[in-house]
Amino acid sequence: MFLDENEIAKLTGIRKGSRGQSRENLQCDQLRVMGIPFFVNARGEPIVARAAFQMSSTAPPPPPPKAWQPGCLN
């Protein structure tokens, strides 16, 4: 249902904190830059739903190709 800690680290490229900022804060900043929707849990960790990456199309399928007709009939 949600990406695990390792998957978020892989996605953001951030595995540990630096420059006085926690790993979680840096990951949240990167997710914002990437435009990936997430929320922060009570422990301050970014939570990303797997549904954010599952493609679903609500568009109808394209119409089937028309049968060939000679040019004079068009």
Q: What's the total number of domains in the chain?
A: 1
Residue 67 lies in a domain: no
Instruction: Return the pLDDT at 8.
Output: 96
Instruction: Return the pLDDT at 20.
Output: 93
| pLDDT digits 0-9 by tens, 8-62 | 999 999 999 988 999 999 999 999 999 999 999 999 999 999 988 775 556 666 6
Q: pTM of the entire structure?
A: 0.70
| Structural domain boundaries enclosing 11 | 5-55
Q: Quick one: tokens of 14?
A: 């951030």
Alpha helices in 1-74 (DSSP H): 5-12, 23-34
CB-CB contact of 12 with 27 (8 Å): yes
| pLDDT digits 0-9 by tens, 20-33 | 999 999 999 999 99
Residue 43 lies in a domain: yes
